[in-house]
Amino acid sequence: MQKISFQDELTISATQQQNGSANTKKDVQKIQSWLTLFSMANPAVATATGIDGDFGKATEQAVKNFQKAKRVTQTGVVDQPTFELLTAPMRTAFLTDSAGSGLRKLIVNTAKKHVLNRPFELIIDQQTNSGPWVRAYMDGNEGAEWLWCMGFVQTIIDQAASAVGKNFTDLMPLTYSCDTVGTTGLQKDILFRYSEIRNKLSLVKPGDIFLLQKAPNDWVHAGIITGIGDDFFETIEGNTNEGGSNNGNAVLKRVRNFRKSKLDVFSIESLI
Protein backbone atom coordinates (compact mmCIF):
# COMPACT_ATOMS: atom_id res chain seq x y z
CA MET A 1 0.00 0.00 0.00
CA GLN A 2 1.07 3.56 -0.69
CA LYS A 3 -1.19 5.14 1.93
CA ILE A 4 0.09 3.77 5.24
CA SER A 5 -0.47 6.66 7.65
CA PHE A 6 -3.17 4.58 9.34
CA GLN A 7 -0.34 2.63 11.01
CA ASP A 8 0.55 5.69 13.09
CA GLU A 9 -2.99 5.73 14.50
CA LEU A 10 -2.75 2.19 15.88
CA THR A 11 0.04 2.59 18.43
CA ILE A 12 1.03 4.76 21.37
CA SER A 13 4.60 5.36 22.45
CA ALA A 14 4.09 4.24 26.06
CA THR A 15 1.39 3.47 28.60
CA GLN A 16 -0.72 6.58 29.26
CA GLN A 17 -2.46 7.26 32.57
CA GLN A 18 -3.50 10.03 34.92
CA ASN A 19 -0.38 12.05 35.84
CA GLY A 20 1.80 9.50 34.06
CA SER A 21 5.46 10.42 33.59
CA ALA A 22 5.45 8.91 30.08
CA ASN A 23 2.34 10.80 28.95
CA THR A 24 2.57 12.77 25.73
CA LYS A 25 -0.02 15.20 24.39
CA LYS A 26 -0.10 13.38 21.05
CA ASP A 27 -0.81 9.97 22.60
CA VAL A 28 -3.39 11.30 25.03
CA GLN A 29 -5.20 13.08 22.19
CA LYS A 30 -5.25 9.80 20.28
CA ILE A 31 -6.83 8.08 23.27
CA GLN A 32 -9.36 10.86 23.80
CA SER A 33 -10.21 10.80 20.10
CA TRP A 34 -10.92 7.07 20.11
CA LEU A 35 -12.94 7.35 23.31
CA THR A 36 -15.08 10.01 21.64
CA LEU A 37 -15.45 7.95 18.47
CA PHE A 38 -16.53 4.96 20.58
CA SER A 39 -19.26 7.10 22.16
CA MET A 40 -20.66 7.93 18.72
CA ALA A 41 -21.21 4.25 17.99
CA ASN A 42 -22.23 3.51 21.60
CA PRO A 43 -24.15 6.55 22.85
CA ALA A 44 -25.27 4.83 26.06
CA VAL A 45 -21.65 4.52 27.23
CA ALA A 46 -20.07 7.66 28.73
CA THR A 47 -16.73 7.75 26.92
CA ALA A 48 -16.89 11.09 25.10
CA THR A 49 -14.39 13.52 26.59
CA GLY A 50 -12.40 16.62 25.69
CA ILE A 51 -9.58 16.13 23.18
CA ASP A 52 -7.02 18.38 24.82
CA GLY A 53 -4.06 16.05 25.45
CA ASP A 54 -4.47 16.22 29.24
CA PHE A 55 -4.99 12.83 30.90
CA GLY A 56 -6.98 13.99 33.91
CA LYS A 57 -9.72 12.48 36.01
CA ALA A 58 -12.35 12.85 33.29
CA THR A 59 -10.23 10.94 30.77
CA GLU A 60 -9.46 8.28 33.37
CA GLN A 61 -13.18 7.77 34.04
CA ALA A 62 -13.92 7.64 30.30
CA VAL A 63 -11.28 4.92 29.97
CA LYS A 64 -12.84 2.98 32.86
CA ASN A 65 -16.26 3.26 31.21
CA PHE A 66 -14.80 1.96 27.96
CA GLN A 67 -13.10 -0.92 29.77
CA LYS A 68 -16.36 -1.77 31.50
CA ALA A 69 -18.17 -1.82 28.15
CA LYS A 70 -15.50 -4.16 26.82
CA ARG A 71 -15.66 -6.33 29.96
CA VAL A 72 -12.00 -5.95 30.88
CA THR A 73 -10.46 -4.81 34.15
CA GLN A 74 -11.33 -1.19 34.86
CA THR A 75 -7.89 0.31 35.55
CA GLY A 76 -8.31 3.68 33.84
CA VAL A 77 -4.86 3.06 32.33
CA VAL A 78 -4.24 2.76 28.59
CA ASP A 79 -1.49 0.34 27.65
CA GLN A 80 -1.02 -1.01 24.12
CA PRO A 81 -3.56 -3.87 24.52
CA THR A 82 -6.20 -1.39 25.73
CA PHE A 83 -5.32 0.95 22.89
CA GLU A 84 -5.74 -1.93 20.46
CA LEU A 85 -9.28 -2.36 21.76
CA LEU A 86 -9.92 1.34 21.23
CA THR A 87 -8.58 1.24 17.67
CA ALA A 88 -10.29 -2.03 16.70
CA PRO A 89 -12.54 -0.34 14.09
CA MET A 90 -9.56 1.01 12.14
CA ARG A 91 -7.69 -2.28 12.51
CA THR A 92 -10.66 -4.08 11.00
CA ALA A 93 -11.06 -1.57 8.18
CA PHE A 94 -7.40 -1.57 7.15
CA LEU A 95 -5.90 -4.88 8.24
CA THR A 96 -8.51 -7.52 7.45
CA ASP A 97 -8.89 -8.94 3.96
CA SER A 98 -11.83 -7.94 1.80
CA ALA A 99 -13.89 -10.66 0.14
CA GLY A 100 -14.38 -10.94 -3.59
CA SER A 101 -12.48 -11.75 -6.74
CA GLY A 102 -11.51 -9.07 -9.19
CA LEU A 103 -10.51 -5.48 -8.52
CA ARG A 104 -13.98 -3.98 -8.86
CA LYS A 105 -15.48 -6.33 -6.28
CA LEU A 106 -12.55 -5.71 -3.96
CA ILE A 107 -12.99 -1.94 -4.22
CA VAL A 108 -16.70 -2.15 -3.41
CA ASN A 109 -16.20 -4.57 -0.52
CA THR A 110 -13.30 -2.57 0.91
CA ALA A 111 -15.45 0.57 0.88
CA LYS A 112 -18.26 -1.35 2.59
CA LYS A 113 -15.85 -2.60 5.23
CA HIS A 114 -14.76 0.94 6.01
CA VAL A 115 -18.27 2.34 6.29
CA LEU A 116 -19.28 -0.47 8.65
CA ASN A 117 -16.53 0.68 11.02
CA ARG A 118 -17.98 4.20 11.24
CA PRO A 119 -15.22 6.54 10.07
CA PHE A 120 -15.99 9.97 11.46
CA GLU A 121 -14.10 13.23 11.73
CA LEU A 122 -13.61 15.12 14.98
CA ILE A 123 -13.06 18.73 16.00
CA ILE A 124 -9.61 19.06 17.56
CA ASP A 125 -8.07 22.39 18.55
CA GLN A 126 -11.19 24.03 17.07
CA GLN A 127 -10.43 22.52 13.66
CA THR A 128 -12.90 20.41 11.69
CA ASN A 129 -11.65 17.64 9.36
CA SER A 130 -9.54 16.25 12.18
CA GLY A 131 -9.04 12.98 14.01
CA PRO A 132 -7.61 9.48 13.42
CA TRP A 133 -9.73 8.61 10.41
CA VAL A 134 -8.99 11.86 8.60
CA ARG A 135 -5.26 11.51 9.23
CA ALA A 136 -5.38 7.90 8.00
CA TYR A 137 -7.05 8.95 4.73
CA MET A 138 -5.02 12.14 4.31
CA ASP A 139 -1.51 10.82 4.94
CA GLY A 140 -1.22 12.42 8.37
CA ASN A 141 -2.79 15.75 7.43
CA GLU A 142 -5.80 17.22 9.23
CA GLY A 143 -7.55 20.53 9.84
CA ALA A 144 -10.29 22.64 8.35
CA GLU A 145 -8.65 23.05 4.94
CA TRP A 146 -8.06 19.30 4.45
CA LEU A 147 -11.24 18.18 2.69
CA TRP A 148 -10.90 14.42 2.69
CA CYS A 149 -13.33 12.89 0.18
CA MET A 150 -10.57 12.13 -2.37
CA GLY A 151 -8.24 10.95 0.38
CA PHE A 152 -10.92 8.39 1.28
CA VAL A 153 -11.45 7.35 -2.35
CA GLN A 154 -7.76 6.84 -2.99
CA THR A 155 -7.30 4.91 0.24
CA ILE A 156 -10.00 2.45 -0.84
CA ILE A 157 -8.56 2.09 -4.36
CA ASP A 158 -5.05 1.68 -2.93
CA GLN A 159 -6.09 -0.94 -0.39
CA ALA A 160 -8.02 -2.99 -2.96
CA ALA A 161 -5.40 -2.68 -5.69
CA SER A 162 -2.60 -3.68 -3.32
CA ALA A 163 -4.48 -6.88 -2.49
CA VAL A 164 -4.06 -8.00 -6.10
CA GLY A 165 -0.52 -6.68 -6.57
CA LYS A 166 -1.42 -3.49 -8.39
CA ASN A 167 -0.33 0.10 -7.78
CA PHE A 168 -3.15 2.65 -7.81
CA THR A 169 -0.73 5.41 -8.86
CA ASP A 170 -0.58 3.75 -12.29
CA LEU A 171 -4.18 4.96 -12.61
CA MET A 172 -3.92 8.42 -11.05
CA PRO A 173 -1.43 10.47 -9.04
CA LEU A 174 -1.52 10.50 -5.25
CA THR A 175 -3.59 13.60 -4.54
CA TYR A 176 -6.33 15.06 -2.35
CA SER A 177 -7.75 17.10 -5.23
CA CYS A 178 -10.86 16.14 -7.17
CA ASP A 179 -9.69 18.52 -9.90
CA THR A 180 -6.40 16.65 -10.30
CA VAL A 181 -8.19 13.32 -10.66
CA GLY A 182 -10.75 14.81 -13.06
CA THR A 183 -8.02 16.36 -15.21
CA THR A 184 -6.09 13.09 -15.21
CA GLY A 185 -9.23 11.31 -16.38
CA LEU A 186 -9.65 13.74 -19.25
CA GLN A 187 -6.00 13.39 -20.29
CA LYS A 188 -6.23 9.59 -20.24
CA ASP A 189 -9.68 9.56 -21.87
CA ILE A 190 -11.15 7.60 -18.95
CA LEU A 191 -13.49 10.28 -17.57
CA PHE A 192 -17.08 9.99 -18.78
CA ARG A 193 -19.12 13.17 -18.67
CA TYR A 194 -22.53 13.16 -17.03
CA SER A 195 -24.23 13.80 -20.38
CA GLU A 196 -22.60 10.67 -21.87
CA ILE A 197 -23.61 8.60 -18.87
CA ARG A 198 -27.25 9.66 -19.05
CA ASN A 199 -27.33 8.40 -22.65
CA LYS A 200 -25.24 5.26 -22.11
CA LEU A 201 -25.38 3.94 -18.57
CA SER A 202 -23.31 0.87 -19.49
CA LEU A 203 -20.23 3.10 -19.39
CA VAL A 204 -20.36 2.96 -15.58
CA LYS A 205 -19.52 -0.05 -13.43
CA PRO A 206 -19.28 -0.64 -9.67
CA GLY A 207 -15.87 0.37 -8.36
CA ASP A 208 -15.66 3.47 -10.56
CA ILE A 209 -15.32 6.94 -9.01
CA PHE A 210 -17.95 9.65 -9.32
CA LEU A 211 -16.86 13.29 -9.45
CA LEU A 212 -19.49 15.93 -8.69
CA GLN A 213 -19.05 18.61 -11.32
CA LYS A 214 -19.35 22.30 -10.47
CA ALA A 215 -18.04 23.41 -13.87
CA PRO A 216 -16.56 21.44 -16.80
CA ASN A 217 -13.09 21.46 -15.23
CA ASP A 218 -14.04 21.96 -11.60
CA TRP A 219 -15.12 19.07 -9.38
CA VAL A 220 -16.04 19.49 -5.72
CA HIS A 221 -16.71 16.00 -4.35
CA ALA A 222 -15.95 12.34 -5.04
CA GLY A 223 -16.95 8.87 -3.95
CA ILE A 224 -16.98 5.17 -4.85
CA ILE A 225 -19.86 3.83 -6.95
CA THR A 226 -21.10 0.59 -5.40
CA GLY A 227 -24.36 0.03 -7.30
CA ILE A 228 -26.17 1.33 -10.39
CA GLY A 229 -29.89 1.85 -11.05
CA ASP A 230 -31.87 3.39 -13.89
CA ASP A 231 -31.66 6.87 -12.39
CA PHE A 232 -29.22 6.57 -9.51
CA PHE A 233 -25.85 5.48 -8.23
CA GLU A 234 -25.43 3.86 -4.85
CA THR A 235 -22.23 5.26 -3.36
CA ILE A 236 -19.89 5.19 -0.43
CA GLU A 237 -18.20 8.54 0.14
CA GLY A 238 -16.15 10.32 2.74
CA ASN A 239 -16.36 13.85 4.14
CA THR A 240 -20.12 13.91 3.60
CA ASN A 241 -23.27 13.95 5.72
CA GLU A 242 -26.96 13.10 5.55
CA GLY A 243 -27.50 16.05 3.20
CA GLY A 244 -24.80 14.98 0.76
CA SER A 245 -22.37 17.77 1.62
CA ASN A 246 -18.90 17.88 0.09
CA ASN A 247 -17.55 18.97 3.48
CA GLY A 248 -19.46 16.80 5.95
CA ASN A 249 -18.06 14.70 8.74
CA ALA A 250 -18.45 11.00 7.98
CA VAL A 251 -18.13 8.10 5.56
CA LEU A 252 -21.67 7.21 4.50
CA LYS A 253 -23.61 5.11 2.05
CA ARG A 254 -25.69 7.36 -0.18
CA VAL A 255 -27.97 7.25 -3.21
CA ARG A 256 -27.37 9.98 -5.82
CA ASN A 257 -29.62 10.70 -8.80
CA PHE A 258 -27.25 11.03 -11.75
CA ARG A 259 -30.01 12.41 -13.99
CA LYS A 260 -30.42 15.42 -11.72
CA SER A 261 -26.84 15.84 -10.51
CA LYS A 262 -23.81 16.45 -12.69
CA LEU A 263 -21.89 13.28 -11.86
CA ASP A 264 -18.91 12.63 -14.10
CA VAL A 265 -17.34 9.17 -13.71
CA PHE A 266 -13.67 8.23 -13.62
CA SER A 267 -13.29 4.65 -14.87
CA ILE A 268 -10.86 2.29 -13.11
CA GLU A 269 -10.98 -0.19 -16.01
CA SER A 270 -7.40 0.45 -17.13
CA LEU A 271 -6.07 -0.71 -13.74
CA ILE A 272 -7.77 -4.12 -14.04
Cβ-proximal residues to 187 (8 Å cutoff; 6+ apart), any chain: none
Q: What pLDDT was estimated at residue 100?
A: 87
Region 151-168 average pLDDT? 97
How sure is the predictor about 5, in pLDDT bands with cuts at 50, 70 and 90?
very high
Q: In order of start, what are the domains of the chain with their CATH numbers?
A: 5-91 (1.10.101.10), 100-271 (3.90.1720)
* 226-242 mean pLDDT: 97
Tens digits of per-residue pLDDT, 114-139?
Answer: 999 999 999 999 999 999 999 999 99
Taking the C-alpha atoms of residue 70 and residue 64, their distance in angstroms, rounded to an integer, is 10
Mean pLDDT score of the chain: 97
State how far the Cα of 32 lies from the Cα of 56, in Å rounded to an integer: 11
pTM of the model: 0.97
